[in-house]
Amino acid sequence: MEARISDLLDEKFKEPDFADCYMIDINLNPTVNKLELFIDSDSGMTFEKCQKISRYLESHFDENKWFGEDYTLEVSSPGVMRPLKLPRQYPKNVGRNIEITTKEGSKKEGKLVEATDFAATVEELVITKEGKKKKKELVQTIIPYDEINKAVIKIQF
């Protein structure tokens, strides 16, 4: 079922208004007939885009009776509380604070200063002691995406 939904979305994302959209995650709960789709866009997801994608999918679901008469479909952007899952999500978060946990278990928390096709660069303030004095230094760490276990944008108020 997820592959069919993914194929439908791939078709929708070929349309000019949705060309910069991409799927992040699908959560299907067959017990309660609920489908949650998390979709993002390089230019930012809008309510209108989510609504149009939802209507597009509903028309296919209803026509083909994939979920029967009674189902719940939620289409939304992943939101800031959900971890980044794809390298494509990083560039639009450059300048924001991020916490990255590597597959080895180490953590880096700081500002995301660069996002390439292969890695994220995090800048953090490191405080070291030199004798009785504390030395503050900005250190940049490049972390390849394939070494990231979890990355979460940290919102500051």
Domains by residue range for the chain, with CATH: 2-76 (3.30.300.20), 87-154 (2.30.30.100)
Three-state DSSP at 17 gives helix
Can you state the angle between helices 2-12 and 47-64, rounded to 10 degrees? 130
- What pLDDT shows up at residue 86? 94
Three-state DSSP at 28 gives strand
Percent of the chain's residues with pLDDT above 90: 66
Rounded to whole angstroms, how far apart are CA atoms 45 and 52?
A: 12
| Spatial CA neighbour of 126 closest among 140, 112, 115 | 140
Rounded to whole angstroms, how far apart are CA atoms 141 and 74?
A: 37
- What pLDDT shows up at residue 69? 81
107-157 per-position pLDDT tens digit: 999 999 999 999 999 999 988 888 888 888 999 999 999 999 999 999 877
